[in-house]
Chain A
Amino acid sequence: MMADANKAIDRAAPQPAQGRDWSGALGNTPAPATATGATGATGAAGAAGAADDDHDLLRTDLYTKGKTVHNKRIDGPFRRFKWLVMVVTLAIYYITPWIRWDRGTFAPDQAVLIDLAHRRFYMFDIEIWPHEFYFVAGMLIMAGIGLFIITSAVGRAWCGYACPQTVWTDLFQHIDRFFDGDRNARARLDKAPWTASKIARRGAKWAVYLTISFWTGGAWIMYFADAPTLTYDFWRGDAAPIAYATVAILTGTTFWLGGFMREQVCIYMCPWPRIQTAMLDEKSLIVTYKDWRGEQRGSVKKAAKNPDQFGDCIDCLQCVAVCPTGIDIREGQQIGCITCGLCIDACDRVMKEVGRPRGLIDYATLEQCKAEAVGAPATPAWKALLRPRIFIYFGVWGAIGAGLLFALGTRTHTDLTVSADRNPPFMLMKDGSVRNAYTLRLRNMETRPRDMEVALTGLPRGAVIWTDTVDLENAAPVQVINVPANETKLVRAYVMLPPGVAADSFSFRLTSLDEQREQDVAETTFAMPEDE
């Protein structure tokens, strides 16, 4: 590698003092991506210039026709990794709602379920109640910081491999290839007139698009209700209207965004690439073309004739052909690059064929590129991971995760909240006793009904409690209340002090009468008449 670098200096002659020289990449003509539009406009404008220059702006192309990207089939380590991620993510998405999880008779047996109707979120052994939404918020924060870690560590890897838009676009591009053939055949068919055979092909392809889109929407709703029941109801026409509407909307968006918009979503719609440009720096791993090694571009023949004048890039355009977003990586970093690495696969294959070292296009940091350009040895890509920023992000991410796990592990499944009646604050009874009323909320987070004991602590002797379902005759210092499984039971409780004794503050103590014997204590006050 050292030798390569030195050779590169000899022939590429970069000018580090004045910044990097892009003239080779740009040439004297506009870059290929904009060449058609630009030259077309120049030509039209040139013709119009002589006749009339008032309506000049009207002739400027302010809008461009979308160009379908027909990416060429490629195989290589990154392509295989992309396959793997696609299979895993799609499997997770489609299979997860069908995993069963036994929670007994009183809770759903679906492993992952967002039960909006009953305000519960089930995820395997974890059940989240609305008052514990901070767990969900914490997970969302972790997901956000997770994206920061990924971006600092491996650049836009999310965009390149795991983003749903990428996964579904990739899937649909494989379908294109299955029906219409590879890159050239697809481009030809696009231009071909609408013959019966083209209509049939397009119809079949779009039908498959639609089927996949439908299953995408169909799988989504399974997360919000019992999957087998919902499937049965859905096909019988008995499911909730919102289920049909959701499926319809997601079918439409998948069909449109995955089948037709594709890279336009990444380039024009998605905010994430913009945010990432703010998070990438010269130390971030990106997919990059090592121009110092590749320039000047020239065919193998030319290079053979004039050794030392040409770089390693033979200008075969394979990197452009395989790109799912249709960009030319040799133009440098750009928003259209989702760093999927397919151009690396393509270039490595060509380099192997022409007998040159791999990695002309490779994962590297801009800092490494700069160093390599002036002769430093190539650094393994993994070294880019060892930077403080990643450790800091990881530390924050891990701390939040550990905090959530700790909170999850130590939470009790029994909870009591008490609110004292304020109007009237106290009630005098016939015999001169003083009664206060309280609203108790007994929360049973176990998926089985439980008996819970409500006791009074800190009140003088003779204090009794009864409830809206236990009569005054059965008032006692302690009441046992059955709380249904997975519910918060609202109990109106009355606490009475006999005449002549006074109290100020006291507590309700809730104890679950099972082997767990979980406890919760809620403090409150006892109001008394002022005089007498």
Chain B
Amino acid sequence: MMSDQHKRIDAPTGTETVGHEWDGIEELNTPLPRWWLYTFYACIAFAAVYVVLYPAWPLIDRATAGTLGWSSRGELAKEMSAADAARQGTFAKIAATNIEALPASPELMQAAVAGGAAAFKVNCVQCHGAGAAGYQEFGYPNLNDNDWIWGGTLTDIEYTLTNGIRWEGADATRVNYMPAFEGVLDTGQVNAVAAHVLSLSGKAKGDAAGATLFAENCAACHGPAGAGQPAVGAPALNDAIWLYGGSQAAVTKQILGPRHGVMPAWQGRLDPVTIKMLAAYVHSRGGGQQAAPAATPANPAPTPAASDVAATTKAEDDG
């Protein structure tokens, strides 16, 4: 029991005890300054106000909302739309600039490449890979090299992105078909052609029979020396880059039953500015080609030619 009798002044400190005593241990009363107490009350008042204004009490599946309506999610949305708004100026500039004129203003080009890189991660990496290196086993082309089946200028890339390749939903899609030579050429002939094709890039010895067969069956699209025709999407066969592999077996397989990759047309799914930025990004991967000085009209010519050739090829194929 505490009592006044226990209260006394502690001699060494000159301080009064509070009157407690436990086995001879006593407690000194060193009073706190009163403002300390007021600070504590102020904190309680602050907490009370805070609980009303801001999300505070946890409920089963959410928390009390708070009268200010503040939420961290809302804050994020605000910041995101502010960032979007900040980008609008650059978007408008990119939209107003002809794609071949983009590299002339490095800042705009840089912005376009950065925007394209972000869009690429969302829309393109599924097939072309995070490093844009493609997957040879599936025939997804590598976008880093300087081999372009359908042309590697900014305009060409933008066209491919916009209309796709062999994409049924787009009228102006890039389309061609290589006939299957299964049943047309016998095994020996196919091997001879394959050997000739590989010899174009120095990977095999030449084959005279193969050369003749190539001139008759393949040179129309791939060119007499196998240089390809980007205008009709005929791949070059005289280089080190192979869409479906460069071994004798892979080439033979492709001659017998060609595989035809499909790429979606992105118009309608992505806005033109994003497509333009994607084109800039792909072009910037290190293998982009310069537009020929004369060929700078708004849209390139290859479309009709490609369709023509495709139609012809198809007709031949059907026939």
A residues near B (Cβ < 8 Å) are 22, 26, 30-31, 34, 37-38, 41-42, 45-46, 48-49, 53, 56-57, 60-66, 261, 264, 268, 421-424, 427-432, 435, 437, 468-469, 471-473, 492, 494, 499
- Cα A26 to Cα B129 in complex, Å, equals 84
Which of chain B's residues have a CB closer than 8 A to the CB of A38? 9, 14-16
| Nearest-Cβ distance from residue A261 to partner chain B, whole angstroms | 8
Please tell me if the beta carbons of B35 and A66 are within 8 angstroms of each other in the complex.
yes
B residues with a Cβ closer than 8 A to A are: 1-5, 7, 9, 11-12, 14-16, 18-19, 29, 31-37, 106, 113, 129-131, 133, 142, 144-147, 201, 236, 239-241, 284, 286-287, 290
What's the dominant secondary structure at chain A's contact region? mixed
How far in angstroms is the closest Cβ of chain A from B112? 12
Please name 12 pairs of A and B residues whose Cβ atoms are closer than 8 Å in the assembled complex, sorted by A.
A22-B12, A26-B11, A34-B16, A38-B9, A38-B15, A53-B1, A61-B31, A424-B129, A427-B145, A427-B287, A429-B240, A430-B241
Q: Which residues of A contact B19 (CB under 8 A)?
A: 45, 56-57, 60
Residues of A within 8 A of B5 (CB): 49
Instruction: Given A38-B14, A427-B145, A429-B147, output 15 extra A-B contacts at Cβ < 8 Å.
Output: A31-B14, A46-B4, A57-B19, A64-B32, A65-B34, A66-B34, A261-B35, A268-B33, A424-B142, A427-B144, A427-B287, A429-B146, A437-B286, A468-B113, A472-B146
Chain A residues, CB < 8 A from B7 = 41-42, 45, 60
Are B129 and A423 closer than 8 Å at their CB atoms? Answer: yes
Check if A60 sits within 8 Å of B29, measured CB to CB: yes
Contacts of B236 on A, CB cut-off 8 Å?
430
Which of these, A41, A64, A469, A472, contacts B34 with CB under 8 Å?
A64
A472 to B18, CA, bound (A): 88
Give the shortest distance, in Å, between B200 (CB) and chain A (any CB). 12
Tell me whether A63 and B33 are in contact in the complex, defined as CB-CB below 8 angstroms, given that A56-B2, A427-B133, A427-B286 are known contacts: yes
**Interface residue SS majority, chain B:** loop
**Cα distance A56–B17 when bound, in Å?**
12
Given contacts A46-B4, A57-B19, A494-B286, contact A63 B240 (CB under 8 A): no
Nearest chain A residue, comparing its CB with the CB of B133: A424
Cα distance A187–B264 in the bound complex, in angstroms? 87
Q: Do A264 and B35 touch across chains, with their CB atoms under 8 A apart?
A: yes
Nearest 4 A-B pairs (CB), nearest first?
A423-B131, A49-B4, A424-B133, A430-B239
Nearest-neighbor residue (CB-CB) of A31 within chain B = B14
Name which residue of chain B comes closest to A49, CB basis.
B4
Contact B15 A30 (CB under 8 A): yes
Among candidates B3, B16, B33, B240, residue contacting A264 with C-beta atoms closer than 8 Å: B33
Interface contact A421-B131, CB-CB below 8 Å: yes
Chain A residues closer than 8 Å to B130, beta-carbon distance: 423
Given contacts A56-B3, A432-B240, A468-B284, contact A424 B144 (CB under 8 A): yes
